[in-house]
Amino acid sequence: MPATEPIRSKSALRSMSTYFKLRGQFRNNAIIVVGAHTALRISDLLALRWTDVYDLSRGEFRKRFTIREGKTKKMRMVTLHPKAVEALALLYSHRREDSDFIFASNRRDGRPISRIQAWRIVHTAVEKLHITGTIACHSLRKTFGYHAAVEESMSPVLLMEIYNHSSFEVTKRYLGLRQEELDGAYLGVNLF
């Protein structure tokens, strides 16, 4: 099975979000937007509860939240990007009252959707929008790092910390950089 790739095109990522918003599928839109902006593994994303991201006593979304990653068992502080908050706010206004989970299933008594269902959501958008590449749920996690590295020139040390990786070698594999992008880095630096 080939490794998943990041979604390299921001317009493709926006199209995926729009695809679901136009259909009134706000949960699916939030999976795309929050998944890409938080770089969480899909299992950690699906385990999020409203109390993780929303302060009920203040009636507002938190700026950041802490989770214990399921795979590594490490604690991680996640900062919510304004676009992620926007997608969550839209979903919150249409949320299922019987579930504490953000990404609640319509069929599972308030429990979160399954990883398989999350894959179906991503796969549906990719197929309908004719997005090329090996794109799956893990692509959302990789997309954050790819754009942070290529377009924002984020420090590799910061990316390693965000991903909670034990080495930069692991982080480099996540970035999915192509030779053309590496060439651009060489050619883009004017020293004289």
Residue 146 confidence (pLDDT): 87
Pairing of strands 54-55, 60-61: antiparallel
Residue 178 confidence (pLDDT): 65
- The 10 Å Cβ neighbour count of residue 73 is 8
On the question of pLDDT at 161 being above 80, the answer is yes
- Greatest CA span in the chain, whole angstroms? 64
The first and second tokens of residue 173, run together, are 């594999």
DSSP 106: T
DSSP 152: S
On the question of pLDDT at 181 being above 70, the answer is no
Listed by start position, the domains of the chain span 10-188
- CATH fold for domain 10-188: hpI Integrase; Chain A (1.10.443)
Q: Which residue has the higher pLDDT, 58 or 146?
A: 58
- Mean per-residue pLDDT of the chain: 89
pLDDT in tens, 78-107: 999 999 999 999 999 998 776 799 999 988
46-55, 118-127, 166-175: range with lowest mean pLDDT: 166-175
On the question of pLDDT at 109 being above 70, the answer is yes
DSSP H stretches of helix in the chain: 10-22, 26-38, 42-46, 50-53, 82-92, 115-128, 137-150, 156-163, 168-175, 179-188
Q: What is the mean pLDDT of residues 136-150?
A: 91
